[in-house]
């Protein structure tokens, strides 16, 4: 069983919980996910099965789209509603739509610096940040370069006059490694207001959107009815941005053994080339400018 299964991840489960459950449903161990989703976030989680686990990095490289809300007037340890409230500030007057739209637009950038939250899986000196946080230990967090391609308000805000809090609703398109929780906090900082991410759903990841996902119930039913293969997307689905080259029998015998390929023996040219044989993606080669040859980058299906 090889392919990509676009899963609809429900809330209340970690990404690894999803992998563990699918291993039982599909009766296979070779499964991996392409980008962690927090337990309180639902949405698109592409799952790689079999040889597709070898192209997880390519899936993760795609931009992601999220929809959610930011609540202004409080801050938590985890930057979402799961954490302990550590700061409050009453908003006697809500931000105007002009202020909101301007603040979101200012965060759109091809090179935005972000510091990941303490309650995250980013590793520092071999330990995950959340391990330091739970031990009440301070540690310098690494700065990350991310991209925010769009950040917009999608419906009218709500103002709670009793709590003196304001909730705004957004959609954001961002690069891998982006913590939307931190975007929420940084948005509030522009106005000197504590902020928290109060809701989040992933609409798109790895080139798949919500309409293409399957629930655990649908996957279980497909297994029982012997049609699970129809739910799997081909590995080549996520490699379409690269040029492809179909090789002959002689070249295939060399590729199996990891041989280098000369540019003049390939019909296609590019920094990376998807090698196919008999209509199946077999490997990804990259061009090494020093030796002027194509070398194996990822061996996907060589049997």
Is 250 buried (19+), middle (13-18) or exposed (0-12) by CB count in 10 A? exposed
Q: Is 2 helix (H, G, I), strand (E, B) or coil?
A: coil
Our CA angle for 200, 177, 180, nearest 5°, is 25
Q: Transcribe 49-64 into DSSP letters.
A: EGGGGGGHHHHHTS-E
Alpha-carbon gap, residue 158 to 142, rounded angstroms: 35
C-alpha closest to that of 94 among 150, 148, 41, 153 = 153
State phi, psi for 55 to the nearest 5 degrees. -120, 20
Alpha-carbon gap, residue 286 to 297, rounded angstroms: 6
Tokens matching residue 12: 């209340």
Residues paired with residue 76 on neighbouring β-strands, in sequence order: 85
Query: Does residue 55 contact residue 238 with C-beta atoms inside 8 Å?
Result: yes
Find where tokens 């919980």 sit: 17
Return the beta strands (E) in the chain as ranges.
3-9, 31-33, 42-49, 64-72, 74-76, 85-88, 109-114, 123-124, 127-128, 144-160, 165-174, 195-205, 208-209, 243-246, 272-277, 280-288, 293-299
State phi, psi for 60 to the nearest 5 degrees. -70, -20
The catalytic residue positions are 38
Alpha-carbon gap, residue 39 to 30, rounded angstroms: 22
DSSP character for 214?
B
């Amino acid at each position: 069983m090889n392919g990509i299964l676009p899963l609809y991840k429900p809330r209340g489960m970690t990404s690894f919980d999803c992998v563990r459950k699918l291993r039982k449903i599909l009766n296979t161990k070779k499964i991996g996910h392409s980008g962690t989703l927090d337990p309180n976030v639902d949405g698109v989680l592409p799952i790689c099965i079999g040889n597709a686990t070898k192209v997880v990095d390519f899936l993760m490289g795609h931009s992601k789209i999220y929809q959610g809300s930011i609540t202004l007037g409080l801050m938590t340890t985890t930057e979402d509603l799961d954490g302990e409230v550590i700061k409050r500030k009453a908003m006697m007057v809500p931000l105007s739509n002009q202020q909101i739209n301007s603040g979101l637009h200012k965060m759109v950038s091809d090179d935005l610096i972000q510091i990941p939250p303490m309650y995250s899986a980013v590793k520092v000196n071999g330990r995950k940040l959340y391990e330091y946080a739970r031990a009440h230990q301070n540690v310098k967090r690494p700065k990350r370069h991310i991209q925010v391609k769009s950040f917009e308000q999608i419906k009218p805000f709500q103002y709670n006059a009793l709590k003196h809090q304001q909730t705004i609703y957004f959609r954001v398109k961002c690069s891998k490694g982006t913590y939307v929780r931190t975007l929420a906090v940084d948005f509030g900082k522009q106005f000197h207001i504590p902020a928290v991410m109060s809701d989040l759903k992933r609409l798109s990841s790895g080139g798949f959107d919500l309409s293409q996902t399957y629930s655990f119930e649908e996957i279980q039913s497909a297994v029982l009815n012997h049609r699970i293969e129809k739910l799997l997307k081909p590995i080549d689905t996520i490699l379409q941005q690269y040029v492809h080259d179909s090789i002959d029998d002689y070249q295939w015998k060399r590729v199996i053994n990891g041989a280098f390929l000369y540019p003049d023996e390939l019909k296609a040219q590019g920094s990376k080339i998807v090698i196919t044989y008999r209509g199946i993606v077999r490997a990804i080669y990259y061009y090494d400018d020093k030796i002027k040859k194509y070398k194996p980058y990822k061996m996907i299906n060589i049997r």
